[in-house]
Structure 1
Amino acid sequence: MSTENNSRPAAGATPPAGGATESEPIKAIRLRHPWRIVFAVVLVIGFVLFIVDAAGREAYKWDFVAKYVFDRRISEAALNTLQLTVYSMVIAIILGVILAVMRLTPNPVVNSLAWFYLWVFRGTPVYVQLVFWGLLSIIYSSIDIGIPFMEPWFSFETNAALSTFTLAIIGLALNEAAYMAEIVRAGLLSVDKGQDEAATALGMTWFQTMWRVILPQSMRVIIPPTGNEVISMLKTTSLVTAVPYSFDLYTRSRDISAETFTPIPLLIVASIWYLFFTSILMVGQHFLEKRFARGVGAREDRKIDTMSGTLTGAVPLGSGQPTVVRPPGDGPPPTEPGGPR
């Protein structure tokens, strides 16, 4: 009867104390996906055909695109669009935080007022709201400052006090604030209630708790949808013609196309500027998300010894402190922080 020399220990046997037995490395074979490759090739061919076809289309008039993409009127309109976006979003974020806190307060009056605001501004189209703001001078011919039902201290004509640019910012900001309030409220609710209780136990005030504990932790939830809202706001500025404000990027390019009878090239010019601004905002959003997501879901590196197949490295086992797993025979096991109990 022949005896097989096997270096692998028998079932149930204890590995030798001096070290683990040698094992062969695993040879991984990558799975093949032929249909995935075929689909990718079809997509690339279709994209190339579209580019070649678009380059030869007479309707696009690429010479007009090159002529007007850096035109002074277009560049000034692009700057106006960027200003509309920045000013509106700053006001919307500040007002959204206030509304979110009002929605979370136990006071029923304050909570109901915030809910009513969200109901109105989220339930009506932004274009309709901008039309109302354009008609503000008809509804309120003057802006009076003073005690109600008494002679006003100061009075201003609405058309003189508020330009169409200002009305466009107000209309966009008030509409966006309703959406930002829900985004901020979701971020605040994502923080564990125990954080608030711990801050209160440390003697921190409500403002200190919100500013130093709750808001920093909720930013990882708030930042991604806020970045999307900024990009959406950039494109929503094309609706300010309802105010009417006619010096934004879309309206200015439309006016130029009405003079030159080339609507398609001017639409391409406006799209190029929108894509340029959007690309910058997407890069900024990426780094902000990376900044505020530090430490979330992080895991310590875990390694497998190629000789023994034993798990090594820092592995969290739920005790609050990382536990170091060492292969057999690699010295005495580490002691728990703080010494033995």
Structure 2
Amino acid sequence: MTEHSLPALAAGTAPAPTAEPPPPTDAVPAAQRVIPLRHPRRWVATAVVLVLLAQIVHGLAANRFYQWDRFAYWFMRPVITDGLLITLQVTVYSALLGLAGGILLALGRLSGNPVLRVVSWLYVWLFRSVPLIVVLLFLYNFSALYQSLSLGVPFGPAFVHFDESRLATDTAVAVVGLSLNEAAYAAEVVRAGILSVDQGQHEAAASLGLPRRYQFTRIVFPQALRAIVPAYVNQLIGLVKSTSLVFYVSLLDLFGTVQSMGSTYPGDIVPLLLVATVWYVILTSAVSVVQFYVERHYSRGALRSVPPTPLQRLGAAVRELRARAGKEAAL
């Protein structure tokens, strides 16, 4: 430091800065800003899809052939709701019996007993090979082959007799036929779910000294449900639609009622078919909602965080839009 600079420092004057301070963030030139990536093809695809949806909605609303006034008339008529209740009743009974039978068949196929393995495989092979309508018609005409059923010693005396005509009501035939068919497909779904569990889990369960029943119900089966639930819900949706075949065994479910009313009122065939379509969509949508929450429940042990519910996703999307709008306004 020189002698000439001493008086200046003593007087309190600061030295001249050597460099200019950096500009504030808001003053960054436009050429240096980060420009978000544009997706023109995505916007074009979105516009095309929206135009197609608008055309479909316009065609449904403007075409008088659909007779939406008659649709509204038939939608909640007692005759339709009675058929809907029969559809729900047959579906619930068949789903429960089919799942129980599928679990037993799956355990039989995985059993170390060769007789159980062969019998279970033959059952699955047979009922997956025969169409459902053939099974229903065969059971409906079962009384022509066997007028009565009995329990006793094979080729010997019978202890209990059943009148087949009293047992084989229309509802019983429908439930039994659907359950037999459903059990064959449910068996493969359950077997695949059990095989998807890591072998180490089986060994760990066995090392705890638990009985085989507890190993299956407490350790193996809860983990297998993560793979069973999505596939079996598809089976349930197919079962809901398969109930429309019980019309051919004289059971007036939802579809059978629509067919009957269509024959009585031929001018209302299209609105009646639309009524059946909407009710089947509602039923399958309800099953899908139950599937989502069941999968969410059983995913807790496999995922770090459970999937968000639709309301949570909607709230996150709204917050994201607000944040994006705030950033654009700031720019």
| Interval containing the TM-score (normalised by the shorter chain) | 0.7 to 0.9
Q: Could you tell me how far apart the structure 1 residues matched to 2:127 and 2:151 are?
A: 26
- For 2:263, the equivalent position in structure 1 comes to 258
- For 2:238, the equivalent position in structure 1 comes to 232
Residue identity matched to 2:149 = I
Kindly state the Cα deviation for residue 197 of structure 1 after the two structures are TM-superposed. 1.5
User: What SS does the corresponding residue of 1:153 show, helix, strand or coil?
Assistant: strand
- For 1:23, the equivalent position in structure 2 comes to none
> Within 5 A, what are the aligned runs for 1:254-333?
254-261=259-266, 262-298=268-304
Q: Could you tell me how far apart the structure 2 residues matched to 1:194 and 1:95 are?
A: 27
- For 1:328, the equivalent position in structure 2 comes to none
Q: Deviations over 1:157-211 (max 9, x none)?
A: 2121220111110100110111111111111111111211122121101101001
User: What SS does the corresponding residue of 1:37 show, helix, strand or coil?
Assistant: helix
After TM superposition, the runs of 4+ consecutive aligned structure 1 residues lying more than 2 A away are: 27-31, 145-157
In structure 2, relative to structure 1, the CA distance for the partners of 1:29 and 1:170 (3 Å cut) is farther
Q: Could you tell me how far apart the structure 1 residues matched to 2:66 and 2:280 are?
A: 18
TM norm structure 2: 0.79
1:185 aligns with 2:175: no
In structure 2, relative to structure 1, the CA distance for the partners of 1:177 and 1:29 (3 Å cut) is farther
Residue identity matched to 2:259 = R
- For 1:329, the equivalent position in structure 2 comes to none
Q: Structure 2 residue aligned with 1:39, among 33, 41, 45?
A: 45
Q: Could you tell me how far apart the structure 2 residues matched to 1:276 and 1:95 are?
A: 27
- For 2:97, the equivalent position in structure 1 comes to 91
1:74 aligns with 2:80: yes
Kindly state the Cα deviation for residue 148 of structure 1 after the two structures are TM-superposed. 2.6
In structure 2, relative to structure 1, the CA distance for the partners of 1:28 and 1:232 (3 Å cut) is farther
Q: Deviations over 1:39-70 (max 9, x none)?
A: 11111111112211222222211111000100
Q: Could you tell me how far apart the structure 2 residues matched to 1:174 and 1:28 are?
A: 63
Q: Structure 2 residue aligned with 1:55, among 49, 54, 61?
A: 61
User: What SS does the corresponding residue of 1:59 show, helix, strand or coil?
Assistant: helix
- For 1:248, the equivalent position in structure 2 comes to 253
Q: Relative to total residues, which structure has the larger helix share, 1 or 2?
A: 2
Q: Deviations over 1:266-305 (max 9, x none)?
A: 0000111111111111111100000001131428xxxxxx
Q: Deviations over 1:19-54 (max 9, x none)?
A: xxxxxxxx8653222122111111111111221122
Residue identity matched to 1:53 = G
Q: Could you tell me how far apart the structure 2 residues matched to 1:113 and 1:152 are?
A: 25
1:172 aligns with 2:178: yes
Greater Cα offset, 151-160 or 131-140: 151-160
Larger Rg: 1 or 2?
2
Q: Could you tell me how far apart the structure 2 residues matched to 1:100 and 1:35 are?
A: 48
* Structural RMSD (CA): 1.7
Q: Structure 2 residue aligned with 1:121, among 111, 127, 137?
A: 127
Q: Could you tell me how far apart the structure 1 residues matched to 2:216 and 2:68 are?
A: 53
- For 2:23, the equivalent position in structure 1 comes to none
Q: Could you tell me how far apart the structure 2 residues matched to 1:29 and 1:267 are?
A: 53
Q: Which runs of 5+ in 2 are unaligned?
A: 1-18, 20-32, 306-331
Q: Could you tell me how far apart the structure 1 residues matched to 2:253 and 2:182 are?
A: 18
Q: Could you tell me how far apart the structure 1 residues matched to 2:181 and 2:235 are?
A: 11
Residue identity matched to 2:288 = M
TM norm structure 1: 0.77
- For 1:333, the equivalent position in structure 2 comes to none
User: What SS does the corresponding residue of 1:106 show, helix, strand or coil?
Assistant: coil
1:30 aligns with 2:36: yes
Q: Could you tell me how far apart the structure 2 residues matched to 1:226 and 1:203 are?
A: 31
User: What SS does the corresponding residue of 2:64 show, helix, strand or coil?
Assistant: coil
In structure 2, relative to structure 1, the CA distance for the partners of 1:198 and 1:51 (3 Å cut) is same
Q: Could you tell me how far apart the structure 2 residues matched to 1:43 and 1:245 are?
A: 43
Q: Which runs of 5+ in 1 are unaligned?
A: 6-26, 300-341
In structure 2, relative to structure 1, the CA distance for the partners of 1:28 and 1:225 (3 Å cut) is farther
Q: Percent identity?
A: 37
Number of residue pairs the alignment of both structures matches: 274
